[in-house]
């Protein structure tokens, strides 16, 4: 349905999009994840034919957007980052304009009614767009993308600026749309992509850094499941010895003193071993209270940050300055 | 294309722009009609003389037509609605032509109001030659087509409609100065080309009642060149 291969877009020497390839099948929701400025909007603008690219190709519904833009554009509904609304029109006038602009063949009134019901803007159809709230504007923008029932929907940060209730509504709407459309959705909010998308593409400074389902991403990238972070009250050198004495522990690192007499300890163990009970037993027998113990398993959020910024995350002091 | 055309035409009368343009044109043409045709009739060979009125309208249009064109493309870019229009299955030329046509239709309608002056006169005199009046109005429409296409090109170059308006006025003044500029160009060949770009010279042929096909073709070709350049500007933006 969507086939992007080796897409390149440069502004001067700066490559905004650098050799991106991915595919999305019919009925799939593909999440496009990256920090602001990573190249998400640029990619979407290329896919929709708003800007051109310097190399590579993008096929939508089997039609190359560069070779046959008008035919390809017919199968796309696009919601840009800022909904493209004319403030001086009413919602109804606007949708009728979009309907005519897209040369839609479906019977007009029933089609527009259906869309308005779907995105819940039926009650504001006769109001000027200028006077609508941000949430309504976003939904009118989404309605605009749906006009003509295009098989491909490209939504650039559809939930930005909405309140939590609206975010949930839009997410469930996108999920519903994903059943019979191919949807590409960009976001810099990870839980959103996690909640909605079948497939995730993480992009950082123009390059794809990860590509897969939510599950496969965390499985592949989670190399830190054999680490524990603990806070224990007591003499740090004694505790360190105690911890190092546990059979499967390979490394102990004493971190900063977080409270009076309480230090943070980072423990590495052999893979697939669980030392938590043994550690508890040893420490309690010596009367060192455990104030915190958690495994250092990465959340998807941390994977994302790690991939996109190369930053360290809390509780991993050994990687100071390290870039992954 | 019809979608964009009808939206733009409606937009002129949702904002004050359309009213201001029609009103201002009407005020000036009315005043000139009163001062130079009605109250100081100088019938040449027994025919009512509109030439002063229409020569002055040429100058008025230099300033008023940019009102029609200033926001056509600049505003789309500022409000990012160009993302809707440029990602819809519409070709760039259709888009530019629709924008041009919207402004042009409003312009033609407001110019056609001048036929009222002919109607008024025909009640009182037999010295009115309708064909002369038609020729004048046609000449004005030709000039308007050039000003609108030039304004559209300028509008495609900026995001700010006021900047577009001001630059458009300067472009129109530039057309007026071509004869002056040409007299300072040493190369006779180039000087002739520049001098021939003078809109006023060709427009004055209409105001003395002479209808020449070459002048009509001149105005149409200049307008087409500007529309073509506008398409190129939009196209170029996709690639930069």
User: What's the whole-model pTM score?
Assistant: 0.83
Report how far Cα B27 is from the mean position of its chain's Cα atoms: 17
Contact between A281 and A248 under an 8 Å Cβ cutoff? The reply is no
Q: How open is the CA angle B115-B116-B121, to the nearest 5 degrees?
A: 100
Residue given tokens 């037993």 in the structure block: A281
Question: Rounded mean pLDDT of B72-94?
Answer: 93
Q: How confident is the model at residue B45 (pLDDT cuts 50, 70, 90)?
A: low
Residue A262 near residue A233, CB atoms below 8 Å: yes
One DSSP character per residue, A252-305 reads EEEEEEEETTEEEEEEEE-TT---HHHHHHHHHHTT--EEEEEE-PPPHHHHHH
Instruction: Flag whether residue B4 sits within 8 Å of chain A, measured between CB atoms.
Output: yes
Q: In this complex, which of A45, A70, A85 lies closest to B89 when CB atoms are compared?
A: A70
| Cross-chain residue pair A84–B14, CB shorter than 8 Å | no
CB A1 within 8 A of CB A182: yes
Query: In the structure encoding, which two tokens stand for residue B169, read together?
Result: 């006025």
The SS3 call for residue A14 is strand
Instruction: State the pLDDT at residue B63.
Output: 93
Q: Which residue of B has its CA nearest to A51?
A: B238
Nearest CB among B79, B82, B88 relative to A102 is that of B88
* Of the candidates A76, A265, A92, A320, the residue with the CA atom closest to the CA atom of residue A183: A76
* B95 in contact with chain A, both atoms CB, cutoff 8 A: no
If you average pLDDT over each of A249-258, A265-274, B94-103, B119-128, which comes out highest?
Answer: B94-103
Beta carbons of B3 and A97 less than 8 Å apart = yes
- More confident site: B217 or A159: B217
Q: Give A11 to chain B, closest Cα distance, Å.
A: 7
Q: Tell me the average pLDDT across B7-29.
A: 92
- Cβ B83–A73 below 8 Å, yes or no? no
Q: Residue B50 corresponds to which tokens in the numbers above?
A: 């509109």
**CA geometry: angle at B146 spanning B83 and B63, to 5°?**
90
CA atoms in the 13 A half-sphere facing the CB of B23: 7
The CA-atom distances, in angstroms, between A231 and each of A50, A54, A260, A289, A291 are 54, 53, 12, 9, 5
- To test the contact with chain B by mutation, choose from A10, A47, A100, A148 the residue with the greatest count of B C-beta atoms within 10 A, namely A100
Cβ-proximal residues to A205 (8 Å cutoff; 6+ apart), any chain? A18, A37, A38, A39
State the smallest CA–CA distance between residue B92 and chain A in angstroms: 10
Nearest by Cα to B100 from B130, B55, B144: B144
CB contact, 8 Å: B159 with chain A?
no
Bridge partners, A267 (sequence order) = A228, A252
Distance from CA of A159 to the nearest CA of B (A): 18
Helix (H) or strand (E) holding A9: strand A2-11
Chain B: give the shortest CA distance to residue A205, in Å. 19
Task: Judge: B81–A70 Cβ closer than 8 Å, yes or no.
Answer: no
- Nearest C-alpha in B relative to A49: B87
Query: For residue B62, is pLDDT > 90?
Result: yes
pLDDT score of A317: 39
pLDDT confidence of residue A316: 42
Tell me what pLDDT residue A320 has.
39
Give contacts of B4 with chain A, Cβ < 8 Å. 101
Structure confidence at residue A202 (pLDDT): 87
Contact B87 A103 (CB under 8 A): no
Confidence of residue B41 (pLDDT cuts 50, 70, 90): low
Sequence-separated (6 or more) residues with CB below 8 Å from residue A188: A33, A34, A35, A36, A38, A40, A157
CB nearest to A88's CB, from B4, B11, B83: B11
Chain A residues in contact with B88 (beta carbon < 8 A) = 73, 98, 101-102
- Give the angle subtended at the CA of A270 by the CAs of A265 and A272, to the nearest 5°: 110
CA separation for the pair A299, A313 (Å, rounded): 11
Question: What's the mean pLDDT in B63-75?
Answer: 93
The token duo for A26 is 């019919």
Looking at beta carbons, which residues of chain B come within 8 Å of A73?
Answer: 87-89
pLDDT of A224 reads: 56
Q: What is the pLDDT of residue A323?
A: 38
Is B238 close to A89, i.e. CB distance below 8 A? no
Average pLDDT, consecutive stretches of 10 residues, N- to C-terminus, chain A (324 residues): 89 87 90 85 91 90 89 93 93 95 92 92 94 91 94 90 85 89 88 84 86 73 70 86 83 83 84 81 88 75 70 42 38
The C-alpha of B142 sits at a distance from chain A's nearest C-alpha, in angstroms, of 29
Q: CA-CA distance, A271 to A195, in Å (whole number)?
A: 30
Candidates B89, B92, B161: best to mutate against A (most CBs of A within 10 A) is B89
The confidence score (pLDDT) of residue A214 equals 72
Q: Which helix (H) or strand (E) is A210 found in, with range?
A: strand A207-212
Size of interface A-B (CB pairs under 8 A): 69
* Residue among B14, B16, B75, B88 with most chain A CBs within 10 A, to mutate: B88
């Amino acid at each position: 349905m969507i086939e992007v291969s080796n897409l390149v877009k440069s502004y001067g020497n700066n490559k905004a999009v650098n050799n991106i390839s991915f595919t999305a099948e019919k009925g799939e929701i593909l999440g496009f994840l990256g920090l602001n400025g990573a190249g998400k909007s640029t990619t979407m603008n290329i896919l929709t034919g708003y800007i051109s690219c310097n190399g590579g190709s993008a096929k939508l519904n089997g039609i190359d957007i560069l070779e046959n833009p008008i035919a390809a554009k017919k199968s796309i509904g696009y919601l840009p980052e800022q909904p493209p609304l004319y403030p001086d029109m009413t919602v109804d006038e606007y949708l009728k304009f979009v309907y005519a602009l897209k040369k839609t063949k479906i019977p007009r009134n029933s089609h527009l009614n259906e869309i308005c019901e779907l995105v819940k803007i039926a009650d504001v159809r006769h109001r000027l767009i200028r006077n609508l709230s941000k949430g309504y504007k976003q939904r009118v923008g989404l309605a605009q993308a749906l006009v003509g029932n295009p098989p491909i929907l490209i939504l650039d940060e559809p939930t930005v600026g909405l309140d939590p209730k609206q975010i949930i509504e839009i997410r469930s709407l996108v999920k519903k749309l994903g059943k019979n459309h191919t949807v590409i959705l960009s976001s810099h909010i990870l839980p959103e992509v996690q909640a909605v998308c079948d497939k995730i593409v993480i992009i950082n400074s123009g390059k794809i850094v990860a590509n897969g389902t939510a599950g496969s991403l965390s499985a592949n990238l989670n190399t830190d499941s054999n680490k524990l972070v603990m806070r224990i009250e007591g003499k740090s050198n004694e505790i360190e010895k105690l911890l190092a004495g546990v059979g499967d522990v390979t490394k102990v690192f004493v971190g900063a003193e977080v409270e009076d007499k309480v230090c943070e300890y980072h423990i590495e163990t052999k893979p697939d071993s669980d030392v938590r009970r043994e550690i508890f037993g040893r420490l309690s027998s010596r009367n060192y209270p455990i104030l915190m113990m958690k495994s250092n398993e990465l959340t998807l959020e941390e994977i994302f940050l790690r991939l996109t910024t190369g930053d360290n995350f809390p509780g991993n002091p050994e990687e100071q300055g390290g870039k992954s | 294309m019809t979608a964009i055309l009808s939206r733009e035409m409606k937009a002129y009368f949702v904002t004050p722009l359309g009213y201001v343009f029609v009103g201002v044109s009407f005020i000036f043409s009315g005043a000139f009609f009163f001062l130079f045709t009605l109250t100081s009739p100088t019938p040449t060979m027994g025919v009512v003389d509109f030439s002063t009125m229409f020569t002055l309208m040429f100058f008025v249009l230099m300033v008023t037509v940019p009102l029609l064109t200033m926001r056509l493309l600049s505003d789309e870019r500022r409000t990012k609605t160009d993302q809707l229009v440029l990602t819809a299955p519409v070709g760039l030329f259709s888009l530019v032509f629709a924008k041009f046509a919207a402004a042009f239709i409003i312009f033609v309608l407001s110019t056609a109001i001048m036929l009222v002056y002919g109607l008024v006169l025909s009640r009182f005199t037999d010295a009115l030659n309708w064909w002369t009046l038609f020729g004048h109005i046609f000449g004005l429409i030709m000039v308007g087509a050039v000003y609108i296409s030039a304004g559209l090109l300028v509008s495609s170059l900026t995001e700010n409609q006021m900047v577009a308006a001001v630059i458009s006025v300067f472009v129109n003044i530039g057309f007026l100065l071509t004869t002056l500029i040409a007299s300072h160009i040493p190369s006779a060949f180039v000087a002739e080309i520049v001098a021939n770009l003078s809109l006023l010279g060709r427009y004055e042929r209409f105001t003395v009642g002479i209808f020449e096909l070459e002048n009509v073709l001149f105005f149409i070709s200049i307008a087409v060149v500007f529309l073509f350049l506008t398409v190129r500007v939009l196209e170029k933006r996709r690639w930069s």
